């Protein structure tokens, strides 16, 4: 027996309306997007309070992140991370992602800043007169501390010791640059 078709229920192709609007994302894509927002929220939870304070975000999201940092039980923390992911849907994730990349040192801007600070440190080690330039650019800079770190870094390098003062000098310059 052959299959019978009910021609009255079939639609003509001419009667179909074609929608030119873009297709909605698939359910799988929406899940991946939500997971990405939740993962970004988890990265925010791992930040120190000082770094978190530098990132612009809605107050509700900031409060939820602080709450997640306080939680220690696995299930409670997991639920809080889901809530953070839900709050992230209402926030613009692009500036938050840029700020996270900058914190992790992945952004091109942050890389350029690091290179600029390294060059400044090298110039300072070569010429003490750079301290005047730093003092003019950063009026609150502790020039005495910078001078001392410069001397110690040069001494460490000459004596072949680990570059502790060299690193400390970079940290101090980075702090000045953030102010």
CATH of the domain at 52: 1.10.60.30
Give the span between the Cα atoms of 81 and 76, in whole angstroms: 9
Torsion sign (Cα): 25, 31, 36, 38? positive
Give the span between the Cα atoms of 61 and 28, in whole angstroms: 25
What is the band of 3 on the pLDDT scale with cuts at 50, 70, 90?
A: low
pLDDT of residue 75: 93
pLDDT digits (tens, 9 = 90+) for 59-117: 999 999 999 999 989 999 999 999 998 998 888 888 888 888 777 766 677 778 888 99
81 and 57 co-located in one domain:
yes
pTM: 0.48
Read off the pLDDT of each residue in 15-27 and give the average, rounded to a whole number.
63
pLDDT of residue 26: 87
**Which residue's structure tokens are 């052959």?**
2
pLDDT of residue 109: 74
98 and 121 co-located in one domain:
no
Read off the pLDDT of each residue in 4-27 and give the average, rounded to a whole number.
57
For residues 128 and 12, the model is more confident at 128
pLDDT digits (tens, 9 = 90+) for 113-171: 888 999 999 999 999 999 999 888 888 889 999 999 999 999 999 999 898 999 999 99
pLDDT of residue 1: 52
What spatial distance separates the first Cα and last Cα of the chain, rounded to whole Å? 85
Domain that holds residue 31: 27-104
pLDDT of residue 5: 52
Give the span between the Cα atoms of 75 and 81, in whole angstroms: 10
- Based on the structure, what is the number of domains in the chain? 2
122 and 90 co-located in one domain:
no
pLDDT of residue 127: 92
23 pLDDT above the threshold of 80 = no
Tell me, yes or no, whether 18 lies in a domain.
Answer: no
94 and 51 co-located in one domain:
yes
Tell me, yes or no, whether 5 lies in a domain.
Answer: no
């Amino acid at each position: 027996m052959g299959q019978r078709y009910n021609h009255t229920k079939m639609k003509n192709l001419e009667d179909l309306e074609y929608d030119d609007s873009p297709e909605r994302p698939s359910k799988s894509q929406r899940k991946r997007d939500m997971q990405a927002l939740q993962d970004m929220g988890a990265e925010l939870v791992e930040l120190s309070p000082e770094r978190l304070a530098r990132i612009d975000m809605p107050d509700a999201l900031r409060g939820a992140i602080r709450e997640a940092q306080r939680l220690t039980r696995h299930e409670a923390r997991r639920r809080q991370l889901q809530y953070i992911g839900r709050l992230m849907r209402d926030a613009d994730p692009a500036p938050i992602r840029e700020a996270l990349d900058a914190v992790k040192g992945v952004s091109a801007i942050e890389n350029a800043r690091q290179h600029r600070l390294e060059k400044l440190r090298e110039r300072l080690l070569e010429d003490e007169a750079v301290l005047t330039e730093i003092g003019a650019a950063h009026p609150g800079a502790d020039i005495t501390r910078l001078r001392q770190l410069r001397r110690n870094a040069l001494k460490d390098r000459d004596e072949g010791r680990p570059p502790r003062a060299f690193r400390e000098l970079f940290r101090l310059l980075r702090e000045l640059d953030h102010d």
